[in-house]
Chain A
Amino acid sequence: MTDQPLTQTDAPREAGRADGPDPMRPALFRVVRNRPETHDTFTLTLEPEAGGGTYAFQAGQFNMLYAPGAGEAAISMSGCAGTVTEVVHTIRAVGRVTKTLQRLKRGDALGLRGPFGAPWPVALAEGGDVVLIAGGIGLAPLRPALCHILDHRERFGRVSLLFGARSPRDILFAREIETWRGRFDVDVEVTVDRAGPGWHGLVGVVTTLIPRVQFDPASTAAFVCGPEIMMHFAVRDLERRGVPHPRVWISMERSMKCGVGFCGHCQFGPFFVCKDGPVFRYDRVAALLGTREV
């Protein structure tokens, strides 16, 4: 049966029958909490509508969140990974869908498809130092990775989080960053691009933090997430410190309509960012990143 071409299926056909679940049909979830983070970001905590359900994902994966009538947006999970009862997304309200999601209140239902995509290779980073470099909302997809690392702290060497925000009021997870800073086993550096008189922290682009932290370049795994150009310069500064390209992973952003490789939109050279990425080992995409408009 299995080696027969499709056209030889003679079984009475049930019109519209689907052998597997419809990957384009969202599951229903409900808002448990919608908490503002900064002036334009918010964190949605969701649970399966059925109640008591669980949801499993890995750090760095994303969901397609569906706001009825508005559409879908690909959003990375920002909560700790694993098998969870609540799915957490930290979202920047920039478009029609995300602005609709921002207005959702406790108890509101929405659609969710996922998890999709390749995760941060946290297991590969074990035994060495880890440098996480985040720019802007790019901290959200890295948070599950940091969460995993801190939960299994003994498996890793030195751990650094370098975070760059646009301005002091754009600093994501500010309270949690203070908690991380309070730990003696993780080096947290935060910088902003623009600061007014009230800011006493660092000023400068996030890449200026790379020379400031301690890590052993040969054993380091670097996870980078932010605007593409920021990642480009971050990789260069990591290289200057001696971190080889195959030890750097970046999370790419491309237009996505389906999340499963059918819509074609997220193609990046031979890759589908939705299923081959969004996390890529840098050396695999370096040449494409160096070519304009791929």
Chain B
Amino acid sequence: MQTLEPIIAELPLFKGMKPAHIQLITGCAANVRFEAGEYLGREGQPADKFWVLRQGRVALEIHAPGRGLLTIQTIGEDDVAGWSWLVAPHQLRFDIHAVTATRALMFDGKCLRGKFATDHELGYELMQRFSHVMLRRLEAMSLQLLDLYGDHYGEHD
């Protein structure tokens, strides 16, 4: 576990946090690997974990009846997968699917949530940082929704 601490301290998600908090977070972290095709989590499952990808590519997918599996977004190195652990009812909203062989740091969200009760500052810090992640993700999705290159975009004709 000691070896993960400097790595975690340098992750964009945690960069600049107090050493004591980094230590706490490190206590809830583990290195994991997924083969291509493996699922990190499935829609509807309890959301007790989140991942920060170190290498590889992961797709956030949703199953639409009649249309099959749709990829909403792909994420990669340094990106965060999973935020449902932070918000009740702590249930995954999407499938999290490794597209390629993937290495990640996995964090035990349940363990961190437990610590928030006594360490509000840690809770606030992480809430801030995850809000930022969510905001960026939401922004990107809004742009996707706009169908930027749809029929309204062409040449000056």
Contacts and interface: CB of A to CB of B under 8 A. Distances in A.
Interface string A113-152: 0000000000000000000000111000000000000000
B120 interface: no
Contact of A204 (B69, B77, B78, B144): B144
A191 to B, nearest CB: 8
A contact residues, range: 35 or more
B154 A92 contact: yes
Contact of B144 (A94, A97, A205, A253): A205
Contact of B68 (A97, A194, A197): A197
Interface stretch (A4-12, A17-25, A28-36, A226-234): A226-234
A46 B118 CA distance: 72
Nearest to B145: A193
Given A73-B156, A94-B157, A253-B156, A199 B71 contact: yes
A31 B143 CA distance: 37
- Judged by DSSP, the binding face of A is mixed
Interface residues of B, number: 31
A126 B153 CA distance: 31
Given A95-B154, A200-B99, A208 B73 contact: yes
Interface string A92-112: 101111100000000000000
A116 to B, nearest CB: 11
Given A196-B70, A203-B74, A166 B149 contact: yes
A212 B140 contact: no
B157 A205 contact: no
A59 B52 CA distance: 41
Contacts of B78: 211
A259 to B, nearest CB: 10
Interface in B39-82: 57, 59, 67-78
The 7 A-B pairs of least Cβ separation, nearest first, read A95-B157, A136-B149, A94-B154, A205-B143, A74-B156, A166-B149, A203-B71
Interface of A: 73-75, 91-92, 94-98, 135-137, 164-166, 170, 191, 193-197, 199-205, 207-208, 211-212, 226-227, 229-230, 233, 253-256
19 contacts: A74-B155, A96-B157, A98-B154, A135-B148, A197-B68, A199-B71, A200-B99, A203-B59, A203-B73, A205-B141, A207-B140, A212-B76, A212-B77, A227-B153, A229-B143, A253-B155, A254-B156, A255-B156, A256-B156
